[in-house]
Every structure is written in C-alpha cells, then in structure tokens.
Structure 1
Amino acid sequence: MENQYYLILLYYCYAEIQDTEAYREEHHLFCIENNIRGRIIISHEGLNGTVSGLKEDCERYMAYVKSDPRFAKTDFKVDQHDRHAFTKIHVRTKPEIVHSSLSHINPNLKTGKHLEPLAFKALKDQEDVVILDVRSNYEHELGKFKNALTLDMENFREFPEKVKELEHLKNKKILTYCTGGIKCEKASAYLLEQGFEDVYQLHGGIIKYGMEAGGEDFEGKCYVFDNRLAVGVNKVNPSILSTCHVCGTKSDRMVNCANPTCNIHVPICENCGWELEGACSDSCQSHPEKRPYDGSGYYQKNTNGYNPYKGWQRLAKNKNLNSVENE
C-alpha cells in the first residue's frame, strides 16, 4: 500500500510545563489513539522522546506536538524504517528530561552556540578546535567523530566532575556533540558556567549530521535508544571503530547482554552472538535468568509495573464527553 512505511522520530524541547501529570495523560492518550510507540519523558523543563509509527501517524504526532505553542520550536529528527522501533508506549514524568546533575541550568537562558551540521563540518578540523563527545562510554566506544575527545563516563551525571579534566582547553573552541543534541544543551551551558568562553554544540546531534552532512568523519556507528541499537550515519568515508567484546574481531553490531543482571551494551559479532546465545560471556550464557536470544540483541526494558493503558478508558471517555458538549 502506497506510503505505508514507518518513521522513527527523535526529539526534545526545553519548555516550561506547569502541570506535568495532566499533560502526560493528554499526551499519552494521543499516542495510544494514533498507534505511536516509544519512550517519552515529560518534566517541568520540557519534553524528550524517541517514538515510532506509520508515516501518517507520525505526521499527526509531530503536528500535535508543534500545535502547542510551548513546543512549536521542536526539531524532529526523522528516519525511515520498515517496522515499529518499539513494542510499547511509555510516557513518564521525571524531574529532568535527560538525567543529569545540572538541574539548575535552563538552556533557554544560556547554552552553547548552535551549529548546523554543515557549519559543524566546516569548523571541526580547524587547529584551535576541540571536538568534545559528551556521551557515555558504551556510546562513544561504538562510534565517534575522528579526533574527538571522549570522557570516561558511565552516564551523563558524571559530566560536571569530568569537566575538571578539561581546564587546559579553556583557550580553545569547544564543539560538543551527542546523539540528538539534548545532552549538549546542558553540557555546553555548564562549560560556559565554568569559564569556557568559546563553546558550540552540534544542533540535532550525530543523527542530523548524518542526514544533512553525509556523516563524514564519523567513525563507526551511532548508538540509538530503540530496537535498532546502532545505526550507520557516515555515507562518505565509513569505517568500523569497535571490536567484538568476545573475540576481538572488528564488529559494529551492538548487543544488549541476554543476562538481565549483567545487561551491558557491547559490540558482539554475529558468530559470537549465536554461539553465546546473546550473552557477553560464558558465565552470562549459563545464568538461570538469561533471556531468549533472537539474533537482534535487543530486549524490552523492564517496565517496573508501568501500565501504558492505565487511565486510558477514563481519559477517552472524558475526551468524548467534551467533544459532545462543544458541538
């Protein structure tokens, strides 16, 4: 059927939301009614989401988000896919839209200068420039920009502590980047707060750079937070950066260890993947809780009791009643 293909949307928007729970319920209902799946975080500081759906459903979803004046400036990174990238919809309220130790920072008031992909490409190789990856270890070990400076971090919360290692670079142009741009909003703002004067960020992140600038000089693949796990972004000079966690051969095939008590995300080649049934080691393969391996290396996250349909009938009923009253 014409135009019956799926889209994957990656987006964020820093904007004040007063009643986060009320908006969560409204947003959640829209997703259910339009078969949108994925993970969406709502907080007092804004929205952050990665979702998938049929093309026409995703177009309705983008229009819905942007119809709210608070989120009219939302920049969606749109990728085509042959199926849903998620199995369920989760819309949650949290204190921050990206977990950090920088809750005091409002990127709408202060952040690094935004560079569109082509501008980033033109600037990144200049002599006085440092390209700074603000992502976690498992992400930059799979792929990063050529000559990028990486930080030894298990998660973004460690960023403020790691900035202490960058004091000697305060006289340089600092170009920050991440997957979709959201971490850079706060990371670049924090660098400015700490006395770095010439700070930039790649607007739209690695994903947008691949779409608009061909991904040139991005080595390896980009880790993504859906069931693809890793995507290629470089159409100009692609390479494989990572090696198989088990046998050491070149591999950019990302796997979430089948042992849920381990759960690490590492590159594992296809042969080792099947041999260890998706586990990262012999001990994980023999673990009694090991999950069945289907070759993808992706497992739905533990929902911790979250019910995506909780309150759906009540919300839908209220919506219908309001529609009747307004006729």
Structure 2
Amino acid sequence: MESTKPYSVLLYYCYSPIEDPEAFREEHHLFCLENNIRGRIIVAKEGLNGTVSGLVADCEAYMNHVKSDPRFAKTDFKVEAHDKHAFSKLHVRYKPEIVHVGLPSIDPNQRTGIHLEPKEFRAMKDDEDVVILDVRSNYEHELGRFKNAVTLNIDNFREFPDKLAELEQYKDKKILTYCTGGIKCEKASAYLLENGFENVYQLHGGIIKYGMEAEGADFEGKCYVFDNRIAVDVNTANPTVISKCYVCGTPSDRMINCANEHCNNHIAMCEKCGWEMEGSCSAECKSQPDKRVYDGTGYYQKNTNHYNPYKGLVRRKKEVHE
C-alpha cells in the first residue's frame, strides 16, 4: 500500500573511493541546499554515508542525483515514509571514515561478510550452527534486538575491535552480524574475517530493511534511529517490548535523551516518569538549573538560532544560483 505521508526519510551508505572528498563535500552540500534536503551526511575517501529527510519528490531527486554518479550507482536506499522533516538542519561533513571504528585500512569492497537479504537472514537465523551478533552500542540493543542475539557491552562502535577475545568462542559457528542500516557490519564482518573467523555473514540493509522486507520477525523491541524519531517499529509479525523504564522498571519502549545535556543519557522512560522527572534520568539531573525543557518527546534539537546552512561552504551564498 502506497504511503500518503508527504515526506521520506532516507538511510544509505556506499563504500566507493572519492579522490577529492572535500571538493565532493562542497558540491554535495550545495545540491542538498538547492533541493531542500536536511540531515547528516558523512563524506570520506572511502565513500558516503547519510540519513536525510525531505519531501517525497525532493528525496527522489536526491536519490537519482546520487545514483547518477557511477561511483554510487549501487547505493541501496532504505526509504521510510514520514509526516514531516526528520531533521532540523543540514550537515555535510568530511571525516576519515564514513563510520568511525578506527579501521580505515579495511576496505569492504575487497573483503567483507557475505550479504544476506532480509528473507535469507530470516530463514537462516535460527539454525543450530548460527550465532546472531549485534554490533551496535548498549543503548541501541537495550531498546531492541533480535531474539537470542549476542550483544556487546560497548558505548560506541569504536570499541568493537576490543571485543574480539569475547567472540573467539564462536569461531566454529556461522556468525550473522546486523546493525541499523548495514554500514557497521561492512567493517565489523571484515574485521572478523581478517582475524581468522571463516563463516561471517551480514544482514544487508540492516534492521530497517529487514522490517520492510521480512516483517521484522523476531526483532524484539524497537530500533533506535539517529534522527528526531529516536525509535521506530520494525516488527509487524510478532512484536514485543523488551526495554524497561529507567526510573520505575515498567515495560516501556519510549526512548528519550536525558534533559540534562551534560548527561544526555539515552534511556527508555515511560510517559508517566517522563513528565514526573521532567525528562531527566535521575534526581541529580532533574535538579540541574540549566537542563533542557522536556516537551514529552525527549528529543532535543541543538539551538538553531542563527543557523546558517551555508556555513562551511567555500562559495558565498550569492554564488549558489549563478
């Protein structure tokens, strides 16, 4: 059934060499401005990674623009319908890697885990010789994860290589890695292969695509996303709630950021505690005089006063339409 929502949210990445990433960043930023695209885009020598939003037609133009470049023709866009922009700003940044793990030498185009389409992943995930490995951070897998998945105690993806010793016990198994959109698995699975793991696979398109094409079956809870939606439903087959309110312990899949920006803890919190705690994760955070105003969502956009989308561009604004 075709969606009637006016906006789209796009999640994508593509590992493809960019000879002059800073010049590409400049041109890409300008295209986004001219087509009313907002979001976060990372440009590196190894490729492109982004989550953006815009009107359906603008997002179609953006996808066509990206794919028209031979370097990114194979980009797999995950497209979700939304009722408004999922971002308030546009940021197009140059960084050493399109997903920060500190392994710039690993090239997924040379070697990476075998890609499994969502339906293939669903058919294979319960086999006896399979281990499902979540390569995301704590706050992500605490909100939602695949049933029986192995999770890692990491606060960010940079810590993944440090967990290699913990995974040695699974070397004789088929390891099925997964993450939100697939990008982390490209390097995580390659790193495992580089370190002697032989049977490594990855969920192509990640949790988001799995929800679209395989009903999200056996993904328990919600999926954390990096825009103002914070969390999204993916399971239409057998949904359940696994996260608990950080304050009272009742089942809750409402994800918020602590109102104390010095804490900014990513936690599940029921609506009742959210209001009672004013969006704070503790009494100490609640007492902070400069805490952010809780509006019931738990999402806090950085102050947009004087936001200039042309900041960081070499060209002046007046040159954009010349």
- Give the TM-score band, short-chain normalised: over 0.9
Question: Which residue does 1:293 correspond to in 2?
Answer: 294
Separation (CA, whole Å) in 1 of partners of 2:126 and 2:179: 18
Give the CA deviation at 1:298: 0.6
Give the CA deviation at 1:3: 6.1
Separation (CA, whole Å) in 1 of partners of 2:12 and 2:290: 34
Question: Which residue does 1:256 correspond to in 2?
Answer: 257
Question: Which residue does 2:231 correspond to in 1?
Answer: 230
Question: Which residue does 1:165 correspond to in 2?
Answer: 166
Question: Which residue does 2:185 correspond to in 1?
Answer: 184
Question: Which amino acid is 1:196 matched to?
Answer: F
Residue 92 of structure 2 is aligned to residue 73 of structure 1: no
Question: Which residue does 1:106 correspond to in 2?
Answer: 107
Give the CA deviation at 1:101: 2.1
Question: Which amino acid is 1:264 matched to?
Answer: N
Pairwise mapping of residues 60-139 of structure 1 onto structure 2 (< 5 A)?
60-139=61-140
Question: Which residue does 1:147 correspond to in 2?
Answer: 148
Question: Which residue does 1:6 correspond to in 2?
Answer: 7
Note the aligned Cα RMSD (angstroms). Answer: 1.8
Change (3 A) 1:81 1:25: same
Pairwise mapping of residues 237-252 of structure 1 onto structure 2 (< 5 A)?
237-252=238-253
Give the CA deviation at 1:18: 1.5
Question: Which amino acid is 1:261 matched to?
Answer: H
Give the number of equivalent residue pairs. Answer: 319
3-state SS, counterpart of residue 141 of structure 1: helix
3-state SS, counterpart of residue 314 of structure 1: coil
Please give the per-residue CA displacement for 1:88-110, whole angstroms capped at 9, x wherever unaligned.
Answer: 10111111100102111000000
Please give the per-residue CA displacement for 1:6-60, whole angstroms capped at 9, x wherever unaligned.
Answer: 0000000001111111111111111111111100010111111000000000000
Is the 2:26–2:314 Cα contact (8 Å) retained in structure 1? no
Separation (CA, whole Å) in 1 of partners of 2:14 and 2:203: 15
Question: Which residue does 2:205 correspond to in 1?
Answer: 204
Change (3 A) 1:265 1:302: farther
Change (3 A) 1:201 1:306: farther
Question: Which amino acid is 2:34 matched to?
Answer: E
Separation (CA, whole Å) in 1 of partners of 2:292 and 2:99: 28
Is the 2:245–2:268 Cα contact (8 Å) retained in structure 1? yes
Give the CA deviation at 1:302: 7.3
3-state SS, counterpart of residue 121 of structure 2: helix
TM-score normalised by length of structure 1? 0.94
3-state SS, counterpart of residue 63 of structure 1: helix
Change (3 A) 1:301 1:15: farther
Question: Which residue does 1:308 correspond to in 2?
Answer: 309
Change (3 A) 1:302 1:320: closer
Residue 234 of structure 2 is aligned to residue 215 of structure 1: no
Residue 273 of structure 2 is aligned to residue 272 of structure 1: yes
Give the CA deviation at 1:317: 5.1
Give the CA deviation at 1:308: 2.4
Is the 1:25–1:315 Cα contact (8 Å) retained in structure 2? no
Q: Runs (4+) of structure 1 moved beyond 4 Å? A: 315-321
Change (3 A) 1:105 1:312: closer
Is the 1:12–1:49 Cα contact (8 Å) retained in structure 2? yes
Change (3 A) 1:312 1:119: same
Separation (CA, whole Å) in 1 of partners of 2:74 and 2:278: 44
Question: Which residue does 1:35 correspond to in 2?
Answer: 36
